[in-house]
Chains A and B, each alone.
Chain A
Amino acid sequence: MNSEKIFKYLLASSGILIVLIAVGIVATLFVGSIPSFKEYGFGFIFSSDWNPTEGRESYGALPFIIGTLMTSILALLITFPFAFSISLFLGEYFKHGKLPSFLRSVIDLLAGIPSVVYGLWGFYALRPLISELGINAQGFGIFTSSIVLAIMIIPYASSLGSEVISMVPGSLKEAAYSLGATRFEVVRNVIIPNAGSGIFAGYILALGRAIGETMAVTMLIGNSNKIPAGIFDLGNTMASLIANQFGEAEGLKYTSLVEIGLILFIITGIVNLLGKLIMKKLSA
């Protein structure tokens, strides 16, 4: 009887521990960014100055917020036709057989490659190509990072989509076929309206991934602390700024970096929450 109770308490306490970890993460980030918040207030988010020179220190997050949103949204746009095609291919056109299982393994493998290896490939294979095409003198920048990010998030963007597409009721599709619809018309008029929100939720979750990605972006974006002038310009993201500058940071710079971490945490939290809400609406 006694050990039974202990066991039940043990189970519940693991839940409490998880809650404590999450609360601890949020509290730590908040406490860590208090000094910089006291110094800059909400202006931190809108200031485009990042100057660590002693005596003229001034920190603002705007270039990195913009850089993060630009790279991740551009990556999502690039990934869209590929991820959507994969979702359709696996969820509707070819559900069984050798080709789809080949494609599934390819996607699994893509998901398994570490970020730093993607970065290396981008640096040594993609960057020279970009510079050859004359898009950017050295091949660094938002565009290059977005391409690599797009490849990295294909697995996340396509997996949920193929799942919801395969769950579209067969009777609906058959009804459309019986009226003489072509397969493309079935996709456009039956599958997309039915599975659209699920596919969209998958893209939102993939966006969350892209926003938090660090290493590959750090190696390719050019790490300039200014607001990027366009998608072919150099830039920096919140994650790669932290990776680059956290090591030797102290004082105001340190707390500013923690505050950037907090902003990154909040943005990914909102994006993920949005994806989860859409998914919930779908299953309800």
Chain B
Amino acid sequence: MNISTEISDRNIKRRLLKDKIFTYGMISFAFLSSIPLFLILYELILKGYKQININFLFEVAPDTMDAMIAVSNHEIIPGGIANGIVGTLIIVGLASIIAIPLGIICGTYLSENAEDRFAGIVRFIVDMLQGVPSIVLGVIGYIWIVKPVTGGFSALAGSIALSIMMLPSIVRSTEETLKMIPISLKEAALSLGVPYHRVMLKVVIPTGISGILTGVMLGISRIAGETAPLMLTALGSTAIQTNITQPTSAIPLLVWEFYNDPNLVSMIWSASLLLLILILCLNLGAKAIAKKWKVQY
């Protein structure tokens, strides 16, 4: 009797110990994964803040010679990333103009015809599009636009590639949001004799606008930092380029160029910092919208 309680006592102690070890192990592993984030932020801020000033936003990227002279004199490299900022605005803006209407319409179609077989196929394809590697979309942008349409690298080609990339998140968020809107709302409008399309455009979509906007902003933040597809499509440019059929720069492309040019290497951190701030703002904005204008019923 005495021996057996002793054994079970030890057994319980061992199980409790195991439980404790597991719990602490899990907590430490979970928080260890946040370390890289802080290391990256630390590196970016520490090395990047020196370069950021007004000129950084309004001047184009310096050429290698100027940068070399400045570095050898221990001065801050002159110039900024204005060509990248303008390029990113143009490329991302154009991609949004293409993807947002198509995405919202398609999401509406999916939520309105949820049981339809064709809608099932479209839903499946949207899911698959979400998984296509960005570099493959770069190849597509090159074959579709760079070669036949613009006859050379262009912002348009980059926009097409990025618009395909942001489409799935807009479609899915529109569909999910519209599905949550109660049918009674739609029925009330229809019973007043409002035609179907006006019900959709004036009642259903405005009600779900916050969810749709969240999806749009997440889609934009997903493409704003993309480099790989732009390397095959927009290529880059040293001057501010507003013609969408010409090679155009973008902030992530500039980071890549600075990285490859030993004289400009000290500008990578500030350019990355700016890019990160831009993306974080988009992310936070999306979250704020989702929180503030949540569809409530």
Contacts and interface: CB of A to CB of B under 8 A. Distances in A.
B119 A15 contact: yes
B226 interface: yes
Nearest to A32: B143
Interface string B106-117: 101110110000
Given A212-B136, A246-B139, A22 B40 contact: no
Contacts of B110: 15
Q: Is the interface of B mostly helix, strand, loop or mixed?
A: helix
Interface stretch (A39-47, A54-62, A224-232, A257-265): A257-265
Interface stretch (A106-114, A136-144, A194-202): A106-114
Interface in A84-113: 84-86, 88-89, 93, 103, 106-110, 112-113
B283 interface: yes
Given A85-B27, A117-B276, A272-B128, A112 B135 contact: no
B129 to A, nearest CB: 6
A185 B32 CA distance: 24
B122 A103 contact: no
Task: Give the interface residue-count category, chain B.
Answer: 35 or more
A278 interface: no
Nearest to B160: A21
Contacts of B287: 108
Interface in B102-150: 102, 105-106, 108-110, 112-113, 118-119, 121-122, 125-140, 142-144
Interface of B: 15-16, 18-19, 22-23, 25-34, 36-37, 39-40, 43-44, 102, 105-106, 108-110, 112-113, 118-119, 121-122, 125-140, 142-144, 164, 167, 171, 195-197, 200, 221, 224-228, 231-232, 235, 252, 255-256, 259, 268-269, 272, 275-276, 279-280, 283, 287
Interface of A: 1, 3-4, 6-8, 10-12, 14-15, 17-19, 21-22, 24-25, 28-29, 32, 81-86, 88-89, 93, 103, 106-110, 112-121, 123-125, 151, 154, 182-185, 187, 205, 208, 211-215, 218-219, 239, 242-243, 246-247, 257-258, 261, 264-265, 268-269, 271-273, 276
